[in-house]
């Protein structure tokens, strides 16, 4: 083989190694892509949990609104938040 042929083969090998490395480790490489997918899944799970919490709070808010008053919920909230008890109840701490 001539020196020019060896240089061409080495250049091709170096180019393959460089672009292969950039394709895996670079700013737009596979590693970054997999990390982004993992982060998206984590954030989607967090969003679902927050949506469920919001739906629960909207339900409680609706049940305590002027148009629809749930007396059992109102009684429970008064006991939990304000510490109210009925006169015929015994409180054990």
CB 64 within 8 Å of CB 73: yes
46 burial type by CB count under 10 A (0-12 exposed, 13-18 middle, 19+ buried): exposed
Read off the pTM. 0.58
pLDDT of the chain, 93 residues: tens digit per residue: 798 888 899 999 999 988 888 887 877 788 888 999 999 999 999 999 999 999 999 998 888 888 888 888 888 888 888 888 888 888 777
């Amino acid at each position: 083989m001539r020196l020019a042929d060896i240089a061409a083969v080495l250049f091709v090998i170096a180019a393959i190694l460089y672009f292969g490395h950039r394709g895996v480790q670079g700013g737009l490489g596979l590693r970054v892509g997999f990390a982004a997918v993992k982060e998206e899944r984590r954030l989607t799970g967090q969003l679902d949990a927050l949506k469920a919490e919001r739906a629960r709070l909207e339900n409680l808010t609706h049940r305590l609104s002027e148009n629809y008053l749930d007396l059992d919920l109102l009684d429970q909230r008064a006991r939990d938040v304000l510490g109210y008890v009925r006169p015929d109840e015994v409180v054990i701490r």
